């Protein structure tokens, strides 16, 4: 018999109601907990199978090219694997041979293209979660990072790194005899593979990653002054994990704070609150009801490869010829959408925790949960959500606004009559 969890406005509590008989039942919390636990077990099984494949592929890749490390196999938590959705993973593949990172002291314009020609106007400057990466920013570097297959005029260029890495992945699939289980996904700027598991097919993005431990990015002006959450001691701990640069676009490296975010998540409820439970239920609702599907809009941050993103300064007319030559498929190819993935409900959680730092705001699950959903609804309906660490970056800037509006409508219906369907 199907049941609903319905919020009672007079008490602020949830009650379980049979759809047919409308008889209240006290078992809602247990049923909802079962759903969350089932998801965790199901995801764990998928992660187990995916990480075996990833470990095998990257071990072979590291043998062929010293610049890439094998993703370690772990019986517990694997920090290199990020679950964006049940069938959508991001795997960071660490590079090696780059040590002693330091911020660039001075900026200069770049005029090169991936094909080796010169531009009449410089490439655009990085914005938000982007930055250049020059080999001279490292005190120590392997000679291979100076080679032309990844380096242009002293810059380690992500598109060149991805080109090398993609070929290594293709070869590793055959060498490891995984052709029946793993296949390359075509027409992607990132390196993506489809992995067949016993539960479902999983799309896995393999992103080469420059890990920069102990150094905090200057772009991440966090935390702002006079904030009670997290504590100063926790802030120092989080910053000690540094950040990561991901190769997932043409010229600019993408800033990532996956390890810092994970530490922040793990230490949410040391005071006994229900923050993690609220997050887990919201994630469950998002996947099952508000935003289902293999590529949900509020799981991914869509980066648009437009003429502007491909990169230039100056009049558009001055670079139309270059765009045509740099992209033989034409201008339409240059404006094709790509994707880089961020877990948006997690960001909503961090912002809400910062605004409501006190334990008393996280003691009653129903009230705390609805507060979180209201924040999500506001962000989705306004098409605006700032990155928690790099606060000048809007994670929804290039998302499909039509899809966001559909999700916003579902959230509005839920907030008007809060209920959760139970199996």
- So what's the pLDDT on residue 5? 54
CA angle 416, 422, 423 (to 5 degrees): 150
pLDDT at 408 over 70: yes
The distance in angstroms from the start CA to the end CA of the chain is 8
> If residue 362 lies in a helix (H) or strand (E), which one and from where to where?
none
Work out the mean pLDDT of the chain and round it to a whole number.
83
CB–CB of 67/50 below 8 Å?
no
Encode pLDDT of 257-278 as tens digits: 999 999 999 889 989 999 999 9
Alpha carbons 69 and 97: distance in angstroms, whole number: 10
Tens-place pLDDT, residues 8-60:
544 445 555 554 444 434 455 566 677 788 888 999 999 999 999 999 999 99
Backbone angles phi, psi at 289, to 5 degrees: -130, -55
- 42, 51 in Cβ contact below 8 A? no
What mean pLDDT do residues 292-297 have? 68
Query: What's the mean pLDDT in 170-196?
Result: 96
What letter does residue 133 receive in the DSSP assignment?
-
Q: Beta 201-212 vs 88-94: how paired, if at all?
A: parallel
Q: Which residues, other chains included, contact 398 with Cβ-Cβ below 8 Å and sequence gap of 6+?
A: 301, 302, 303, 304, 337
Q: pLDDT tens digits, residue range 67-113?
A: 999 999 998 889 999 998 889 999 999 999 999 999 998 889 999 99
Q: What is the pTM of this model?
A: 0.84
| pLDDT at site 421 | 59
More confident residue, 326 or 382: 382
C-beta neighbour count of 393 within 10 angstroms: 20
| pLDDT the model gives residue 6 | 57
Is residue 291 very low, low, confident or very high in pLDDT (cuts 50, 70, 90)? confident
The pLDDT assigned to 420 comes to: 63
Mean pLDDT confidence for 152-159: 97
Over residues 354-368, the pLDDT tens digits come to: 999 999 999 999 999
> What is the DSSP code string of 159-220?
HHHHHHHHHHHHHHHHHTT-TTTEEEPSS-SSEEEEEE-SS-EEEEEEEEEEEETT---TT-
- CA–CA dist 421, 423 (Å, integer): 7
Residue 196 has pLDDT above 70, yes or no: yes
Q: How far apart are CA 191 and CA 170, in angstroms?
A: 10
pLDDT computed for residue 288 by the predictor? 85
* pLDDT value for 333: 30
Using a pLDDT cut of 90, give the percent of the chain over it: 65
Which pLDDT does position 173 carry in this prediction?
Answer: 98
pLDDT, residue 296, reads 64
**Ordered domains of the chain (ranges, CATH):** 3-422 (3.30.460.90)
Predicted local distance difference test score (pLDDT) of residue 324: 32
Q: Is the pLDDT of residue 312 over 60?
A: no
Cβ 155 vs Cβ 133: under 8 Å: yes
Least confident of 23-27, 237-241, 369-373: 23-27
Does the pLDDT at position 331 exceed 50? no
């Amino acid at each position: 018999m199907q049941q609903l969890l319905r919020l009672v406005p007079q008490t602020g509590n949830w009650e379980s109601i049979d759809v047919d008989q409308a008889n209240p039942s006290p078992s809602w919390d247990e049923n909802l907990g079962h759903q969350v636990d089932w998801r965790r077990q199901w995801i764990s099984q998928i992660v187990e199978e995916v990480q075996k494949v990833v470990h095998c592929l990257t071990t072979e890749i590291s043998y062929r090219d010293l610049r890439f490390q094998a993703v370690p196999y772990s019986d517990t938590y694997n920090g290199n694997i990020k679950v964006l959705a049940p069938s959508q993973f991001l795997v960071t593949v660490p590079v090696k041979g780059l040590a002693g990172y330091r911020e660039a002291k001075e900026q200069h314009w770049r005029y090169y293209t991936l094909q080796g020609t010169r531009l009449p106007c410089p490439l655009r400057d990085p914005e938000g979660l982007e930055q250049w990466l020059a080999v001279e920013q490292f005190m120590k570097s392997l000679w291979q990072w100076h080679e032309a297959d990844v380096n242009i005029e002293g810059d380690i260029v992500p598109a060149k790194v991805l080109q090398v890495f993609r070929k290594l992945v293709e070869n590793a699939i055959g060498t490891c005899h995984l052709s029946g289980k793993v296949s390359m996904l075509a027409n992607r700027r990132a390196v993506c593979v489809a992995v067949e598991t016993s539960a479902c097919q999983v799309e896995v993005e393999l992103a080469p990653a420059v890990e920069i431990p102990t150094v905090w990015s200057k772009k991440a002006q966090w935390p702002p002054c006079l904030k009670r959450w997290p504590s100063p001691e926790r802030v120092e701990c989080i910053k000690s994990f540094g950040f990561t640069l991901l190769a997932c676009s043409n010229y600019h490296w993408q800033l990532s704070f996956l390890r810092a975010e994970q530490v922040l998540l793990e230490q949410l409820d040391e005071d006994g609150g229900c923050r993690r439970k609220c997050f887990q239920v919201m994630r469950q609702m998002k996947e099952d009801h508000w935003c289902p599907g293999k590529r949900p809009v509020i799981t991914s941050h869509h980066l648009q490869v437009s003429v502007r993103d491909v990169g230039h300064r100056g009049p558009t007319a001055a670079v139309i010829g270059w765009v045509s030559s740099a992209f033989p498929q034409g201008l339409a190819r240059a404006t094709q959408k790509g994707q880089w993935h961020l877990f948006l409900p997690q960001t909503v959680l961090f912002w809400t925790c910062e605004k409501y730092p006190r334990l008393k705001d996280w003691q009653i699950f129903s009230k705390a949960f609805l507060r979180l959903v209201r924040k999500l609804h506001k962000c989705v309906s306004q098409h605006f959500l700032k990155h928690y660490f790099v606060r000048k970056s809007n994670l929804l800037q290039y998302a499909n606004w039509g899809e966001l509006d559909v999700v916003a409508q579902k959230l509005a219906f839920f907030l008007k009559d809060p209920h959760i369907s139970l199996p």
